[in-house]
Structure 1
Amino acid sequence: MLKSIVLLDDNSATNFIHETYLRRVNCVERIHTFTMGIKAIEYLKTLEVFPELIFVDINMPTMDAWEFMEIYEEIDMSLKINTRVILLTTSIIPSDKGKMSLYSEIEAMMFKPLNEEAIRNILGRVFQSNTIIILSC
């Protein structure tokens, strides 16, 4: 079971849906939701142990995923060594795929909203050592 996941999406309803599915899959102890990138960054900068997974909406009004990643990259790598970032979008634009390759910390880009099956697939792929536990949830 993961200790912590961060959800970052400017749409509160989307965060609620994703949090609901994460709880149904029963794969994480704590879920932290943010609707503003700067608030998520401020939170992350207070941590000594980073969440294992961060979901970031690509298109947000005040700070998009790319601006978030620019600041996120500046955080000490030793703090986020076990953290994976997954970008979420409603439409994959070819330029987003190109931008994604500039950030080694981005694990994948996926369509939203997520569902239970997508969450299990993400966890199984990203955290292979947890696959048996996750799939049994």
Structure 2
Amino acid sequence: MFNKVLLLDDNKATNFIHTKFLKQSDACNEIVSFLTGKDALEHLQDKDNVFPDLIISDINMPTMDVWEFLDLYNAIERSVKTNPKIILLTTSLSPEDNERIKVYPMVSQIINKPLDKRAIQNLIEKFIKGEDSQQ
């Protein structure tokens, strides 16, 4: 189970739907969502907040795209900064995005949005049940 999931998407309805599916899956204890990369980064930098186990972010956002977010995320210095799984969401997977993730090894994968129950189940299988079988 993920202790905490951070959702980042500039579309409030998308965050709502993703939150609903995550809650239905019983895969996490806490879900926080943000509409801007700036707000998400402020949350991540706040030492009073538990660091997430999973970050799910849209690639294309108007004020700060995911690439700028990831660059600033890398600069976060926290003693409790964990290495969360980072999933990027896209409406159309471009070859450029596939090339760009090679520069960001912390990105686990890119998947099509919106998340649905099957995609969340796949994340659970890969990251939660997969870890259990490796221990």
- Does the alignment reach a TM-score above 0.5? yes
The equivalent of 1:52 in structure 2 is 53
Aligned pairs for 1:1-137 within 5 A: 1-47=1-47, 49-76=50-77, 79-127=80-128, 128-130=130-132
1:82 offset after TM fit, Å? 3.4
Judging changes above 3 Å, is the alpha-carbon distance between structure 1 residues 115 and 26 closer, same or farther for their aligned structure 2 residues? same
Paired residue secondary structure (2:61) = coil
Letter paired with 1:91: S
Greater Cα offset, 47-56 or 31-40:
47-56
Hey, what's the Cα distance between the residues in 2 that align with 1:116 and 1:66?
A: 26
* TM-score normalised by the chain length of structure 1: 0.89
1:81 offset after TM fit, Å? 3.1
Paired residue secondary structure (2:39) = helix
Give deviations 1:5-31, integer Å, cap 9, x for gaps: 000000000000100100110111110
Hey, what's the Cα distance between the residues in 2 that align with 1:79 and 1:92?
A: 33
1:89 offset after TM fit, Å? 0.5
Letter paired with 2:131: S
The equivalent of 1:135 in structure 2 is none
Count matched residues: 131
Unaligned 5+ runs, structure 1:
132-137
Q: Is the 8 A contact 1:123 1:130 kept in 2?
A: no
Q: Is the 8 A contact 2:45 2:78 kept in 1?
A: no
Q: Is the 8 A contact 2:3 2:28 kept in 1?
A: yes
1:112 offset after TM fit, Å? 0.4
Judging changes above 3 Å, is the alpha-carbon distance between structure 1 residues 10 and 130 closer, same or farther for their aligned structure 2 residues? farther
1:44 offset after TM fit, Å? 0.3
Greater Cα offset, 60-69 or 121-130:
121-130
